[in-house]
Amino acid sequence: MTDGFEDGGGGGRGRTRFPGLSSRAYEHPADRSALVALRKLTGFDVVFKALSGMLPERSLRLLFLSDSVRVSERQFAHLHQMLLDACWVLDLEKVPAMYVTQDPRPNAMCVGLDQPVIVLTTGLIELLDEDETRVVIGHEVGHALSGHAVYRTLLLFLTNMAVRVAWIPLGNLAIMAIVTSLREWFRKSELSADRAGLLVGQDPQVSIRGLMKLAGGDHLHEMNVDAFLEQADEYEAGGDLRDSVLKIVNVLPRSHPFAVVRAAELRAWSQSRDYQRIMDGHYPRREEDGDASVSGSVRDSAAHFTERVRTSRDPLVKLVNDVAGGAGHLGGRLRDFAAGAARSARDAAGGGSARDTAAGGGSGSGEDAGGPSGPEEGRAGR
């Protein structure tokens, strides 16, 4: 079972802790499958190995140290306590450094290679209340626990590089192929980190409220969580095939999924048996990660996508599902037709052989020919 503790971040209520929690417990299946696809991308391993020593981790640290405010017991003490709280809940042993940087845009990120660094913007801190901020910090700690920071750093580096080599056609194409795949993975990784934030905040309404603020600003008195979630349902099901294609086009340049999509995904997970099992203390442990089956993760991801395709209301997904189902139905009818034709051919061949034998043209033994003539001839011969 999990341990309970009174959080020190000002929440004033008991929180559930998850000792030894493996990131596998909250990682979204789409996150795992997208990362597998990314690692299989031609040239990714070569680029990753080549850039690992070039990634500006030291430069990033110096930049934040020189031009941001480091969170500590003496600076942004309430954020420091929330960071300790999140690391305690998710059982992240090494607490990452955290900085606040001046930027009116609400944002947060976790970057770095060996030592992740969490960065919050002033726009985010001013937008969210204490409970919502706790969820965001838990979100970033989830990125750190999952090892996402290194790929996020690579994405930042390659995005900047793509701008610098845009004048080289082939070079830009090669980099943008990897950047596009990294963005696809990173959007999926956000769904995993949203789940980690929920495990820290432990209140689905607070998590969804924070996402609603990111979409509509600090006008909570003008917004409604239920109505916001209805937008998510409408976004998934509404429109026709053109809207489905536009959804894909609109999300391609983004690093994060749309807020309503994240809210819908989080609502579904918060109501699932998987979430309840984690809260009850039944979850994968870090010490079991070495024994975890890659094929098992692939199967889980495949099962997730199969279920999503089956239940999706998106017009394009429904069309693909209907075509696949129609093809399967047609294939079954063709198999039945072929089996029936073969059976008819065998029956026809058997009937022809019997007629030949009855006419005296059979070449088999009397026993094979059947009928009473065999035994009668035997008696006459004796």
The residues annotated as belonging to the active site are 140
On whether the CB atoms of residues 113 and 157 are closer than 8 A, the answer is no
Q: CA–CA separation, 357 vs 68, rounded Å?
A: 100
Pure H helices in the chain: 29-40, 44-52, 57-67, 77-90, 122-127, 130-146, 149-164, 169-201, 204-216, 225-237, 241-251, 259-270, 273-279, 294-311, 315-358, 366-369, 373-381
With a CB cutoff of 8 Å and minimum separation 6, the contacts of 382 are none
Q: CA–CA separation, 22 vs 41, rounded Å?
A: 26
16's enclosing H/E stretch is strand 14-16
Q: Which residues of 118-133 are buried (b: 16+ CB within 10 A; e: fewer)?
A: bbbbbebbebbeebbb
**CA distances in angstroms from 88 to 6, 8, 170, 235, listed in the order given:** 11, 10, 47, 37
Q: Which amino acid is at 191?
A: L
Q: Which residues of 180-207 are buried (b: 16+ CB within 10 A; e: fewer)?
A: ebbbbbbbbbbbbbbbbbbbbbbbbebb
CB atoms closer than 10 angstroms to residue 31: 24
With a CB cutoff of 8 Å and minimum separation 6, the contacts of 246 are none
69's enclosing H/E stretch is strand 69-70
Residue 251: strand, helix, or coil: helix
Q: Which residues of 147-156 are buried (b: 16+ CB within 10 A; e: fewer)?
A: ebbbbbbbbb
Q: Which of 25, 34, 22, 45 is nearest to 189 (CA)?
A: 34
Q: Which amino acid is at 360?
A: G
